[in-house]
């Protein structure tokens, strides 16, 4: 059983790392990387020799380094995590600050929250718990063989899993399920004596896009759902000394995820409707996959235990504060010993001590299995972003940039700042990693708000939410790249559907949610 699961995971890893690109796209990528390789240092030199008043020498040097780093983040001439290490190293070599201060953010507690969540996800995926949840929901009686309900159920289970497991891993898991449904449709038509081109079948395109888009949308649910969430929490804590709790994020994250999901489902169903009322064989396909999992294994049960421990301890401070008040002495003590990072690591480490076979001294997870699911690159990127952000703040560069942005854009209200930085994050996330775009936008948005005496939380949350709305291009997010590899999604179709969801999501959800609901949550909880 374990060998079968391992083989299946290896297949998913291959899917995850596969991206089909046309010759034109490959040429564009080559030009982008070559241009960025030259443009980064050139921009750094230009900024350094450009006379800028009001900046200390250290801040001026930092601005040049950030211009270099941001260009390489966007153009990716070298891997993004490597660029995230290069920026801080240059800051030390060029005298911006000492190594102790520059590298300190790499030990930020939120990095360990992410590390703990990666380990938890490894336990769930290694023992097939994520698949059991997915097939269990898809096999519910209300789903049946209805194309509309199958699309809805596929999206729901993808979004809910993605709130706790990485977006990329979730899409890699749901991708073969969606392909199986497409195959069932093809077999149904062949049984009727019809032969159709599934690459041009609209509903098949909708299923593929749902597997990708729902993963990105589900990421907004929890702080650990996607890197941008943790990044803005880290910057708020580091730059504004504002602590956002796990429970607070889940309150607005659940509302945002639900609203985004409704918009996405309507767009996909209207653009890619099925031409049949029943998909014959769909129910049998899901039942077969569910039955193949067999009985609950000890590893699955242990993973559930660790997951419940994590969620309970993460969420507990919210109801506690509602009942006894945020200033309760017991709650303050709880937050000292059971902060989010400690809880994440505690729950993850449980998997190394909960046995699956005590006689053979086998435990739920071993380090070799765990490290395959730990995205070290994301942790490094997170640390590098926090490092540069902290230096911007201490050097005075952030305040200068904040005032400059306000002066240039005329944005001097929370609403206008949410629009400016939300759109900036959205556009950047379409062209580069949403993690990198958040690292670039978050410190600027937070300091811009603080520089004119406004609450930075709505602006920071808007940046995180907008960074998760990269739906237009295969390069926007790994989930997009995975489903694009199926050959069932024309690039123009992805652009059209992605643009529509981006536009509606930004205007009708991100803007009102961040301007009105997020401040209410912070005040209330």
Instruction: Indicate the domain borders of the chain.
Output: 22-96, 108-127+297-374
At residue 357, what are phi and psi to the nearest 5 degrees?
Answer: -155, 95
N- to C-terminal Cα separation, the chain: 45
Over its length of 525 residues, how does the chain's per-residue pLDDT go in tens digits?
Answer: 444 445 444 544 444 444 445 566 678 778 889 999 999 999 999 999 999 888 899 999 999 999 999 899 888 899 989 999 999 999 999 999 999 999 999 998 988 988 998 899 889 888 888 888 888 888 888 888 788 999 999 999 999 999 998 888 888 888 888 888 888 777 777 766 666 666 677 888 999 999 999 999 999 999 988 989 999 999 999 889 999 999 999 999 999 999 999 999 999 999 998 877 877 777 888 888 888 888 999 999 999 999 999 999 998 988 888 888 878 899 889 988 998 899 999 999 999 999 999 989 899 999 998 888 788 888 898 899 889 988 988 898 888 888 888 888 888 899 999 999 999 999 888 877 788 889 889 988 998 999 889 999 999 999 999 998 888 888 778 888 888 878 888 888 889 999 999 999 999 999 999 999 999 999 888
β-partners of residue 354 are none
- Reading the block at residue 449, the tokens are 């708000």
At residue 362, what are phi and psi to the nearest 5 degrees?
Answer: -100, 135
User: From start to end of 281-359, where are the E strands?
Assistant: 355-357
Which residues 6+ apart lie within 8 Å of 524 measured at CB?
none
Sort 117 into a burial class: Cβ within 10 Å, 0-12 / 13-18 / 19+. Answer: buried
Q: pTM of the predicted model, to two decimals?
A: 0.84
């Amino acid at each position: 059983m374990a060998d079968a699961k391992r083989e299946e995971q290896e297949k998913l890893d291959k899917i995850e790392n596969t991206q089909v690109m046309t010759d034109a796209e490959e040429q564009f990528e080559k030009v982008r990387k070559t241009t960025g390789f030259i443009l980064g240092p050139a921009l750094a030199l230009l900024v350094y020799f450009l006379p800028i008043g009001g900046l200390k020498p250290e801040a001026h040097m930092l601005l040049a380094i950030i211009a270099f780093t941001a260009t390489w983040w966007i153009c990716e001439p070298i891997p993004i995590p490597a660029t995230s290490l290069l920026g801080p190293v240059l800051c030390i070599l060029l005298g911006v600050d000492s190594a102790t201060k520059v590298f300190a953010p790499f030990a930020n507690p939120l990095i360990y929250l992410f590390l703990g969540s990666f380990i938890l996800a490894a336990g769930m995926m290694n023992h097939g718990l994520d698949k059991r949840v997915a097939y269990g929901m898809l096999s519910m009686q209300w789903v049946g063989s209805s194309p509309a309900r199958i699309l809805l159920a596929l999206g729901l289970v993808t979004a809910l899993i993605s709130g706790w497991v990485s977006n990329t891993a979730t899409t890699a898991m749901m991708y073969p399920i969606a392909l199986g449904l497409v195959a069932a449709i093809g077999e149904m038509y062949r049984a009727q004596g019809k032969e159709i081109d599934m690459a041009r079948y609209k509903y098949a395109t909708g299923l593929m896009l749902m597997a990708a888009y729902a993963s990105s949308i589900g990421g907004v649910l929890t702080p650990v759902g996607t890197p941008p969430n943790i990044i803005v929490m880290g910057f708020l804590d580091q730059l504004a000394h504002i602590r956002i709790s796990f429970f607070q994020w889940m309150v607005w994250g659940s509302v945002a995820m639900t609203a985004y999901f409704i918009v996405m489902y309507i767009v996909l169903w209207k653009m890619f409707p099925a031409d049949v009322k029943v998909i014959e064989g769909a129910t049998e396909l899901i039942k077969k996959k569910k039955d193949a999992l067999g009985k609950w294994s000890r590893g699955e049960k242990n993973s559930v235990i660790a997951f419940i421990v994590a969620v309970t301890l993460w969420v507990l401070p919210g109801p506690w504060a509602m009942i006894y008040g945020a200033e309760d002495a017991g709650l303050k003590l709880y937050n000292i010993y059971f902060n989010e990072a400690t809880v994440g690591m505690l729950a993850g480490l449980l998997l190394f001590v909960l046995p699956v076979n005590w006689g053979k001294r086998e435990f739920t997870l071993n380090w070799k299995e765990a490290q395959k699911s730990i995205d070290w690159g994301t942790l490094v990127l997170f640390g590098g972003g926090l490092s540069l952000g902290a230096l911007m703040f201490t050097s005075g560069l952030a305040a200068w940039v904040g005032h400059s942005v306000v002066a240039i854009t005329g944005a001097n209200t929370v609403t206008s700042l949410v629009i400016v930085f939300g759109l900036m994050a959205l556009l950047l996330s379409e062209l580069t990693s949403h993690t990198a775009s958040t690292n670039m936008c978050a410190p600027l948005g937070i300091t811009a708000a603080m520089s004119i005496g406004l609450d930075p939380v709505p602006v920071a949350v808007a940046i995180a939410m907008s960074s998760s709305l990269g739906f237009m291009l295969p390069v926007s997010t790994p989930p997009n790249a995975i489903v694009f590899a199926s050959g069932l999604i024309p690039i123009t179709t992805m652009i059209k559907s992605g643009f529509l969801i981006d536009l509606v999501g930004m205007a009708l959800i991100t803007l009102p949610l961040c301007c009105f609901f997020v401040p209410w949550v912070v005040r209330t909880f």
